[in-house]
Amino acid sequence: MHILVATDADHVVNAVTDALSGPHTSFTICREGRLVSGLVSERTPDLVVLDLQIGSKGGMAVTMDLRLDESSGNLPTVKVLMLLDRQADVHLARRSAADAWLVKPFTPLDLKRAVRGVLYPPDVTAEVARVPVGAESAEEEAVVAG
């Protein structure tokens, strides 16, 4: 898995890489929001983790840029997890079409759960109960009188 982490804060880089590191995970670190689209174009990540502020450009603007470039066919679709400074910023993540968001401070477990939810959303169709083929309903059961 390849993750693009965009933030200008060292503690955020450390928190994300520490929580998500593994033998099959690589990271690209970007410290300037205006460079994110180019990095996505060069090497499409499985996930983009955006801080609310990334150098001179915010995470909301970066997410909107990614979505516009995707819709025009200039970039592939990427999953975006936005890291927010406060609960009141949730509307920014929603408006920018982020796939998910997490309010700081967060624990490594919170981050892992959020990433799992973005990359592997639950399959709601698997939860629908199905009647096995050949099963009879109560109305179809015949009573045989002898």
Per-domain boundaries in the chain:
2-119
Q: What is the CATH number of domain 2-119?
A: 3.40.50.2300
The answer to whether the CB of 127 falls within 8 A of the CB of 106 is no
Model confidence, pTM: 0.81
Closest CA relative to residue 30, chosen from 11, 5, 55, 47: 5
pLDDT at 146: 45
pLDDT at 137: 46
Q: Give me 42's structure tokens.
A: 């060069």
Amino acid 124: pLDDT: 59
What is the model's pLDDT at position 140? 44
Residue 139 confidence (pLDDT): 45
Q: What is the predicted pLDDT for the residue at 55?
A: 87
What is the C-alpha to C-alpha distance for residues 56 and 112, in angstroms, rounded to an integer?
A: 28
Pairing assessment for the beta strands 2-6 and 26-30 based on DSSP bridges: parallel
pLDDT (tens place) for every residue of the chain, 146 residues total: 999 999 999 999 999 999 999 999 999 999 999 999 999 999 999 999 999 989 889 999 999 999 999 999 999 999 999 999 999 999 989 999 999 999 999 999 999 999 999 999 887 555 555 545 554 444 444 444 44
pLDDT for position 15: 97
Q: What does the radius of gyration of the chain's CA atoms come to, in whole angstroms?
A: 22
The alpha carbon of 21 is separated from its chain's Cα centroid by a whole number of angstroms, namely 17
| Confidence (pLDDT) at 127 | 53
pLDDT of residue 90: 93
